[in-house]
Structure 1
């Protein structure tokens, strides 16, 4: 484990600095996912308006954003040589060929986590429905959806110590450390639950609030100007997708920095830190010249 002290401020500062210094790689990695994002949302609107077919695009967007999150983890922890969707699909996390066993284990992890959250949520929602029905409250569809939302929020808060550590587990998985266990992460992060949550909120809230207000404003303006729904969807979703990926990049980098300090990394990992150390060791004149150069790359 790193001897550096883990603080909220240092983690957030590092995540913003990393994004600012690696903007070319950020645009490289969101180019494909952003196009897919817009295509999914435009397709959803066309099916709804033209054919009265409603689909839930959230599942598709979750896959797109999850793929970006994993690759951005690798950008932070391993460098640009290992941050590509082609490499992720071809060799996965451990640089070994894609196999049925590895895919099955990944799907099993997702299923277990989903069940851990879903079963308590369903039980809580059902209990609340029985209680309110006994009180004479009419169970309309809107009321049931509200209960489901509140139940999900409660379960997320109850399981927050596990969920916040799953993000660190994802960082280790992206790093290729498949032998890293949740027990190891829990042991090394004991006493940091509140700090880890505060890091996530500090990274997520500012830009997400700005994104919500801006996209809402554009949505209202497009309705008042009577812009074609396809054009307005492309404009709004391009902006919404871009800001979502930027928020995700900041959150992922903050979690990856927490992983670096609390869990520890191997020699050669987090290559951009080597560049920072070299810049710190240089005389002031040399350091100013160095900061204007390109992003340091690994030697092949």
Structure 2
């Protein structure tokens, strides 16, 4: 395994399952994996640790995939709650969408230009996607805006990048990948030949005005139908959204296990064990009191 080869160059503390690490880094090249471990080593050094543990590797992976945490950026409680609802919208729609990638992590700690992040990771490297997977991706992207509408009662600028990505994905489905039943398997991309160095102004297009309108209508239909599907999911799982928001307000970042337990409304194994031990101790104390009597 490539990761093990690169790991020989740094000091490792404790046991690390490199197979699990590899599953969490789909699409990473050998150079990317080397950079991941080097970043983990730098994080360990900044903490004055003797070696790299799984925590530093996960922190390095999150930094590479989601951006560096902006710990100096202070959000108001209202902004944090708005962000929590937005990210919960992404997460709940993804969790209950059949063709979505598993949720890896949710955070309302600002990273890069984003106030929060919901990260989905495929279980294996993927090189092609079917239409249903792309539709679910669009549903997840618009899920944040839908949650704002349903739970906050107002919409924010936080969905700007989501809407842009959803629109670009829908446009590619229609114009490049032939995934529109209305327009069929035809490529409607523009000719890349430039008349002059004016970028978009200089591009020649061979699409008629009537076809352009059909393309716009199809893109709108895909986005609108995905929006309505996301809205239905969030309305059906309102309690799960609220639980997720409250948990995010409490600890700010959730891993995949914490996400699952919170959405399902069940106790984590650690909490269940603590409760069993506590109940057992209470029972022993009760028996002792009765024997004394």
Shorter-chain TM-score range = under 0.3
TM-score of the pair, normalised by structure 2: 0.22
Q: Counting helix residues as a fraction of each chain, which structure ranks higher?
A: 1
Structure with more relative contact order (C-alpha pairs < 8 Å, separation 6 or more): 1
Question: Could you say which structure has the higher strand fraction?
Answer: 2
Larger Rg: 2
Structure-1-length-normalised TM-score: 0.22
